[in-house]
Amino acid sequence: MTMVDERTRSVVQTSDFLRELAGDPALPEAIRMQAKRLLRHYPAAVDIWRACAVEERLRGLLEEESLPPEVRCLLLHEPLFCDARPAGGQVPSGG
C-alpha cells in the first residue's frame, strides 16, 4: 500500500524527471517533446505542496464539533498528498 508521503514524493520527483528528460539534448527529439507535452498539464511541485497545506487545514477542521456530519465525512478521506515537506519545511512560493 502506498503511503501518503511516498505518493507525494513520487509525484514531485516525476515532475523533476520529466524536466530532466525534456532538457537533455542527448535524448532523441521525440522523447524530449513527449516529456514537454506531459509537463504541460502536470502539477508543479509548488502545486503539490499547496495541496498538502489545504488538506492539512481541512483535516484540522475535524476538531470542530459544530461541523455537519456530511462535511465531517468528506474530511475523513485519506489525504491524497501530505506527510512530507520540501527541504526546510516551507511550501515553495514559485512555480
21-34 pLDDT, tens digit each: 999 999 999 999 99
The reported pLDDT for the residue numbered 18 is 96
The reported pLDDT for the residue numbered 14 is 93
Amino acid, res. 54? V
Cβ-defined contacts of 84-90 (< 8 Å, 24+): 84/4, 84/5, 84/8, 84/9, 84/52, 85/49, 85/52, 86/12, 86/45, 86/49
Q: In the structure grid, which three cell numbers stand for residue 54, read together?
A: 489545504
Domain-wise residue ranges, the chain:
4-81
CA distance 63 to 77: 15
CA distance 95 to 49: 11
Taking the whole predicted model, whether its pTM rises above 0.75 is answered as no
